Amino acid sequence: MLWDYIFVGGGLSASVVSNRLHHLDPALKILVIEAGANANNDPSIIYPNSTNLIGGEYDWKYQTIPQVHLDNRQFDFDLWGDTVGDHRWSYAGLLPYMKLTETAPVHDPAEHGSKGPMHIQGIVSTNREFPLRNKTLQSWQAVGVHPLPNNDGNAGNPLGIGDLFENKIQGRREIADNVFNLAGITVLTETLVSKILLSTPKSHHQSPEATGVQLVNGTKIQGKEIILAAGAIRTAQLLMLSGIGPSDELHKFKIPVVLNQPEVGKNFADHGLFGALWSLKDPSAGYAIGSSNPLFNEPQYGWGTPADFLVSTGITDKAGLAAAIEKDEGKKPDPKKHPLLKRDRTFNEHVFQYAGTPDGSAVTFALINLLPTSRGSVTLKSANINDVPNIDPNYHATEVDKFVAREGIRLQIAFANSNATVIGRDIIAGELGAPGFNETFTTKSTDAYIDARIAAGLGSTFHPMGTAAMGKVVDTNLRVKGINKLRIVDTSVFPVVITAHLQVATYATAYQAADIIYNSNKCSK
């Protein structure tokens, strides 16, 4: 059988694009190949918390190589559009697709959808404000961070205090391939693709063409167009195993070079995550999950992350940021032209979570670096698809990233360990420290101590992106440059860092991808 489209990867991107293509033309023969099992009825998937899947059967258990360094979102998308020279990938170009995706609890027709398939729940809309909500809000304001209009951090400008929103209905996760029905689409689960099948050009004037995929068992499946949706790590690996990538990398493992593409696997970025535990002065007051507070027995308090707000902040010390940029780039930056200086950007996200220890005696403060300037790579470990590739996010390789993280931690210290805030005065006893360190975070913490703590404790938010960047590896129609009939529709194609959790950007990319693919093939008929 010759499929019209073969998708490699069955996650969010493939679910949305295949569903939309089938909706536009039900006669299309579409195959989705997913390496994992169907877990849509597993309670740990349907009702996830932040840890119950890590290391489990649905986790690829990716490990990074040892790390030696350890303005707003509208602007991010406009930078994307400018970088690739295509307005479709700007904020204005992607916003209609973002709105098509959602049914939001916030009434703001200019920025949010109200009839989309994905439902969004908020703290207020689910009636689960936490006991420390007002004190938390007051404390953020005391350190110079202020509420956003309607407490909405998802309306283009997130700098400030926004309510926490999640893609759930009464705690039940909205899974892409449930919401975007795959009826009429053939799905193979627990099936691993080992490489893309590529034709040999008949002349130097022609490009290789993707003709199908080969499974690990040797089975070959033919398709008119192959669409990679395996994620920023596996997509890069699969390209290289198929002979598309840096020639020196392919030669190491005796992989025939079909296309020397040095940028495959490069430009890898991830949002670094650092968390610290802070003890409560009076655990019996019932401020945290795990305490005896009967409020937490109400079902809605188990429906999502135990936090009231997502707080996004920029950098107030512009001179310090400029000095860090100069160290990285070797010259003084022009504050009117440099993308990190010419306007306020979202550098850090803070999540003050009312949970930390099983007995409710501590809370967690998480810091996420949303705008890393460090870039890493995905490279091959072997020529075997079963061997997870080398994953190097290259966290904190730049002075800018270190400076930004220090600024974020110092703001959290001011919030939680200062008499200037009600949380610092009345609620928090102090930070609990970390193994191997003889001191804790205080207002007297040195840069060296903060750097050391972050280097020891920084982890991933699992937001990989950029390894097949648009403009370098794919064009603005998502076609792999130099290869016919091969596209990529996942976060690999993001050419710039998106200073947000990647779900909405991925949905918008997938929606637009479906329109691009359908219209381009419709025109070619």
- What CATH number has the domain bearing residue 338? 3.30.560.10
* 310 and 435 co-located in one domain: yes
Cross-strand partners of 260: 245
pLDDT above 70: residue 405: yes
pLDDT above 50: residue 100: yes
- Please give the model's pTM, rounded to 2 decimal places: 0.89
Question: Which tokens in the block code for residue 300?
Answer: 């809605």
Looking at residues 96-123, what average pLDDT do you find? 76
The per-residue pLDDT of the chain, averaged, comes to 89
Report yes or no on 438 lying in a domain.
yes
Report yes or no on 216 lying in a domain.
yes
Looking at residues 266-292, what average pLDDT do you find? 97
Structure confidence at residue 55 (pLDDT): 42
pLDDT band (50, 70, 90) for residue 117: confident
Report yes or no on 95 lying in a domain.
no
Report yes or no on 433 lying in a domain.
yes
Total domains in the chain come to 2
* 236 and 360 co-located in one domain: no
Structure-model confidence comparison of residues 104 and 163, the more confident one: 163
- What whole-number percentage of the chain has pLDDT above 70? 88
Structure confidence at residue 170 (pLDDT): 60
Give pLDDT tens digits for 465-488: 999 999 999 999 999 999 999 999
**Secondary structure string (H, E, C) spanning 7-33:** EECCCHHHHHHHHHHHHHCCCCCEEEE
- What whole-number percentage of the chain has pLDDT above 90? 73
Active site residues: 463, 501
Q: How far is CA 183 from the centre of its chain?
A: 28
**Which of the listed residues 406, 440, 457 is the one where a domain comes to its end?**
457
Structure confidence at residue 155 (pLDDT): 57
Report yes or no on 443 lying in a domain.
yes
Structure confidence at residue 157 (pLDDT): 65
Structure confidence at residue 525 (pLDDT): 57
Structure-model confidence comparison of residues 66 and 80, the more confident one: 80
* 152 and 288 co-located in one domain: yes
Its domain, for residue 227, covers 2-67+178-264+464-524
Structure confidence at residue 68 (pLDDT): 40
Structure confidence at residue 401 (pLDDT): 97
Phi, psi torsion values for 236, nearest 5 degrees: -60, -45
For 179, other C-beta atoms within 10 Å of its C-beta total 16
pLDDT above 50: residue 369: yes
pLDDT above 50: residue 69: no
CATH number of 59's domain: 3.50.50.60
**Which of the listed residues 431, 457, 483 is the one where a domain comes to its end?**
457
**Which of the listed residues 457, 481, 500 is the one where a domain comes to its end?**
457
* 16 and 37 co-located in one domain: yes
Structure confidence at residue 31 (pLDDT): 98
* 400 and 251 co-located in one domain: no
Output DSSP code: residue 201. Answer: P
* 291 and 440 co-located in one domain: yes
Report yes or no on 442 lying in a domain.
yes
* 331 and 434 co-located in one domain: yes
pLDDT above 60: residue 165: yes
* 301 and 422 co-located in one domain: yes
pLDDT above 50: residue 65: no
pLDDT band (50, 70, 90) for residue 166: confident
Structure confidence at residue 46 (pLDDT): 43
pLDDT band (50, 70, 90) for residue 67: very low
Give pLDDT tens digits for 223-266: 999 999 999 999 999 999 999 999 999 999 999 999 999 999 99
* 341 and 421 co-located in one domain: yes
* 358 and 428 co-located in one domain: yes
**Secondary structure string (H, E, C) spanning 158-185:** CEEEEECEECEECCEECCHHHHCCCCCC
Report yes or no on 94 lying in a domain.
no
pLDDT above 80: residue 322: yes
C-beta pairs of 21-30 under 8 Å, 24+ apart in sequence: 21/514, 21/517, 21/518, 22/184, 22/185, 24/514, 24/518, 25/518, 26/184, 28/4, 29/1, 29/2, 29/3, 29/4, 29/5, 29/186, 30/3, 30/4, 30/5, 30/184, 30/185, 30/186
Check whether 496 is labelled as a binding-site residue. no
Report yes or no on 13 lying in a domain.
yes
Least confident range from 162-171, 255-264, 488-497: namely 162-171
Structure confidence at residue 152 (pLDDT): 66
* 280 and 347 co-located in one domain: yes
pLDDT above 60: residue 66: no
Structure confidence at residue 58 (pLDDT): 36
pLDDT above 50: residue 51: no
Strands 486-488 and 272-280, bridge-based pairing: unpaired
pLDDT band (50, 70, 90) for residue 38: low
Q: Is the separation of the CB atoms in 352 and 135 below 8 Å?
A: no
pLDDT above 70: residue 64: no
pLDDT above 50: residue 327: yes
Structure confidence at residue 495 (pLDDT): 96
* 351 and 446 co-located in one domain: yes
Question: Which tokens in the block code for residue 52?
Answer: 């119950």
pLDDT above 80: residue 301: yes
